[in-house]
Structure 1
Amino acid sequence: MYRRKTYDALLRWRKESNGRTALMIEGARRVGKSTIAEEFAKREYRSYVLIDWQKAPTAVRDSLLNNLDDLDSLFMDLSVYYGVRLYERETLFIFDEVQLFPFARSAVKHLVADGRYDYLETGSLISMRKNVEGILIPSEEESISMFPMDFEEFLWACGEDLLAEAIREAFAAKKALSPLLDRKAERLWREYMLIGGMPQAVERYLETSDMGMVDRVKRQILRLYMQDIEKYGGGDADRVRRIFGEIPGQLSKHEKKFTLAAVDSDARSRDYRDAFFWLDDSYLVNRCVNATDPRVGLSLYQEDSSMKCYMGDTGLLVTMVFGDRDYTSNELYRDVLFGKLETNEGMLVENVVAQQFRAAGHRLFFYSRYSRQASERMEVDFLLVKQYGNAAGRMRVCPVEVKSTKRYSTVSLDKFKAKFDSRIGMQYVLHPKPLKADGDRLYLPLYMAHCL
């Protein structure tokens, strides 16, 4: 199993919870939830019982349904059926794909109260009303989100732990990497941008070094997502499918805000609201909403009708861009990697930065203001809320501009700083150049996006 940051979150949960809560790992299909749950069980517990509700026989479901008031009988059934000896406080039960048997999720309340064992759940599309209708979500359940690999996890998978450490140290010291390490980090960043962070895609690349083979894996994942949309989308399935298919075209625009007219000329925001929430809840996309008044507490000022819609994984976005052909060759990927094939790199760069921010735990906000007066017209790619040293460590809004080329201007960032100066902390420019500090503005290479 690849090293994942989610593992540290699991360790914290076990230590801090001490059996008082169950933990739900939420995320899109194929991001590695089941893999990390089982690996955690193998390493940290004396024994574990893995119940995959996609495969569990009716008898296992019936035992849970009928024995919730007789847990001794339930545990006897599960222990013998799965051939696992149970040890108090040293056995973990994993309810995998728990959304396929919602009763198991509601039963967690009674199982946790019993106190003998620990409980870990994994779920995809778990937030959908269809999967939780009529089910009391237990207060004893905590949840964490798991995303595709970020760039640092990709480096770990590639065996580049020392480079990952060097990047972290350079960021903390506000000092550029040496030219040798900068070039290496930049090359691996570009590879990551094309491959993405889906573990199966990364594994195939490390096994074969063939981007064409990686593309086949990503196409399989995209087909799986389309099947999920049809199966779980309900009355919104058609709208969800339209939005999902339109994402590359929307991101290729200079102004990347999602325009519903491109999906349906008669579309109204309220008709598509649930479809956008469906995609967001299922972790297939990362929604970025406009914060009309940039203050700490950005969600209080969000304008849901004005948003950008990024793909949850940039590698999947790349495959969608080349989706007009049945097969994308290794040679074509290499041409893109080395800049021999003209592509809209701006949309890939902005998408992959959004992916790093979501994996780091940030909700996504941007700032956009249209005005007839040029001095008031501006758009800032992302807004983060972070501590600001020059304000005694208090939280401040930190604007982030993303640049895909080495030649650029920072007009919008300059206007934003001038207009909201007292609310602003550090300003960040992510660009394909080495690190440079300039007062309270920090110019970072793109490969440091995960550090923010």
Structure 2
Amino acid sequence: MKRMILAELASWRDKSDRKPLLLTGVRQCGKTYILQKFGREYFDDVAYVNLERNPEIGRVFEQNFDPQRIIDELGNLFLGRPILPGKTLLILDEIQTQPVAISALKYFCEDIPELAVIGAGSLLGVSLRREEASFPVGKVDRLQMYPMNFCEFMWASGYENYQDMLRKHPLEERVPDYVMSKMERLFYEYLVVGGMPEAVAVWVRSKDLAQVADIQDNILFGYENDFAKYAPVSEYTNIRAIWRSVPEQLARENNKFVFSRVKKSARAKDLEQSIGWLVDAGLIHLVNKVENAQIPLSV
């Protein structure tokens, strides 16, 4: 499926001062798919390594941070072909499972800048904090990926021509009703299906909301599994309680999140660390309340 972030990846490839790239985003938002597509379209070869599925590969990064040795061993021992700077895109997927590989990106930047390297992962901030690994500050480029937006949903649904028409439509003129009715229907579909690529693909193919709901449930179940795997033991119960409470509370008429509804008599300071973990994981976003809606905004 067409994703806007592909153009940003192409811009990164063409930068004169390009550094190794860290692509972050929640699980199942399409990182692996778009990186492999990017590699096929913009490079002669793609060297793809999944550090979660093949944890023994992570040991290559533990010996030392010599990037030439690392790519030689990755190419010869695991991929069966050489990794060539200037021609190969090296993808280190699920890099959060091997924080030492994140630290190694500094030396790829310094010693082999002509090699295009992308580390992709979720829960990156959480993983680095847990392992107390060093982050290569100033030696990597960063890019955040999100689930599909409404424009991308329209593309996947076969309505790219509507976008082209709206882009050319004068802002001061009313959009015709026959166009707005179609756009509204698509938007309501998007609100129900969401932007996870697998759910969108199933919806476009089948129009079966039951299948979509199964996929959504599996994704949410996977997130809760990550709580058990990555969260501090002392915060696990609170993290899960907050996660389950957020949609229930925001569905209420006042759209407010009340800490005492998570746990009886709970206050902000009681749940602060758990909320911070979910924010670092990219699973929730805090929105500051604006007290005075004037420029500059005061919160």
Fold shared, TM-score > 0.5 on shorter chain: yes
TM-score if structure 2 supplies the norm length? 0.92
Change (3 A) 1:294 1:135: farther
Change (3 A) 1:143 1:157: same
Amino acid at match of 1:287: L
Q: Distance in 2 between matches of 1:242 and 1:252?
A: 16
Deviations 1:144-190 (A, max 9, x none): 211111110000111111112223334x6232221111111111111
Q: Provide the residue aligned with 1:216 in structure 2.
A: 214
Give aligned pairs, total.
295
Amino acid at match of 2:13: R
2:127/2:230 contact within 8 Å kept: no
Q: Distance in 2 between matches of 1:134 and 1:251?
A: 34
1:246 aligned onto 2:242:
no
1:75 aligned onto 2:71:
yes
1:19/1:117 contact within 8 Å kept: no
Q: Provide the residue aligned with 1:93 in structure 2.
A: 90
Alignment of 1:66-215 (within 5 A): 66-69=63-66, 71-80=67-76, 81-114=78-111, 115-128=113-126, 131=129, 133-138=131-136, 139-170=138-169, 173-215=171-213
1:65 aligned onto 2:62:
yes
Q: Provide the residue aligned with 2:279 in structure 1.
A: 280
Deviations 1:110-160 (A, max 9, x none): 012122411111111111165564322112112121111111000011111
Deviations 1:381-413 (A, max 9, x none): xxxxxxxxxxxxxxxxxxxxxxxxxxxxxxxxx
Change (3 A) 1:248 1:63: closer
2:40/2:46 contact within 8 Å kept: yes
What is the SS of the residue equivalent to 2:90? Answer: strand
| Larger helix proportion of the pair | 2
Deviations 1:81-101 (A, max 9, x none): 202333322211111111100
Higher relative contact order (Cα pairs below 8 Å, separated by 6+ residues): 2
Q: Provide the residue aligned with 1:291 in structure 2.
A: 290
For residue 197 of structure 1, report the CA deviation from its aligned partner: 0.6
Alignment of 1:45-64 (within 5 A): 45-58=43-56, 60-64=57-61
Q: Provide the residue aligned with 1:264 in structure 2.
A: 263
1:47/1:85 contact within 8 Å kept: no
Change (3 A) 1:228 1:200: same
What is the SS of the residue equivalent to 1:180? Answer: helix
Amino acid at match of 1:247: V
Amino acid at match of 1:137: F
Q: Provide the residue aligned with 1:225 in structure 2.
A: 223
For residue 295 of structure 1, report the CA deviation from its aligned partner: 5.3
1:98/1:105 contact within 8 Å kept: yes
Q: Distance in 2 between matches of 1:285 and 1:62?
A: 33
What is the SS of the residue equivalent to 1:231? Answer: helix
Q: Distance in 2 between matches of 1:9 and 1:45?
A: 15
1:195/1:214 contact within 8 Å kept: yes
For residue 282 of structure 1, report the CA deviation from its aligned partner: 1.6
Q: Distance in 1 between matches of 2:223 and 2:152?
A: 23
Q: Which runs of 5+ in 1 are unaligned?
A: 303-452
For residue 56 of structure 1, report the CA deviation from its aligned partner: 2.2
Change (3 A) 1:232 1:72: closer
1:148/1:197 contact within 8 Å kept: yes
TM-score if structure 1 supplies the norm length? 0.62
1:20/1:113 contact within 8 Å kept: no
RMSD value, Cα: 1.9
For residue 74 of structure 1, report the CA deviation from its aligned partner: 2.6
Deviations 1:398-433 (A, max 9, x none): xxxxxxxxxxxxxxxxxxxxxxxxxxxxxxxxxxxx
What is the SS of the residue equivalent to 2:26? Answer: coil
Change (3 A) 1:127 1:175: farther
**What is the percent sequence identity of the aligned residues?**
27
Change (3 A) 1:230 1:5: same
| Larger strand proportion of the pair | 1
Q: Provide the residue aligned with 1:27 in structure 2.
A: 25
Q: Distance in 2 between matches of 1:264 and 1:294?
A: 32
Change (3 A) 1:287 1:175: farther
For residue 19 of structure 1, report the CA deviation from its aligned partner: 5.7
Q: Name whichever of 19-28 and 35-44 sits farther off.
A: 19-28
Q: Distance in 2 between matches of 1:199 and 1:145?
A: 16
Q: Distance in 2 between matches of 1:75 and 1:122?
A: 17
Q: Distance in 2 between matches of 1:230 and 1:296?
A: 43
Amino acid at match of 2:62: L
1:99/1:131 contact within 8 Å kept: no
What is the SS of the residue equivalent to 1:287? Answer: coil
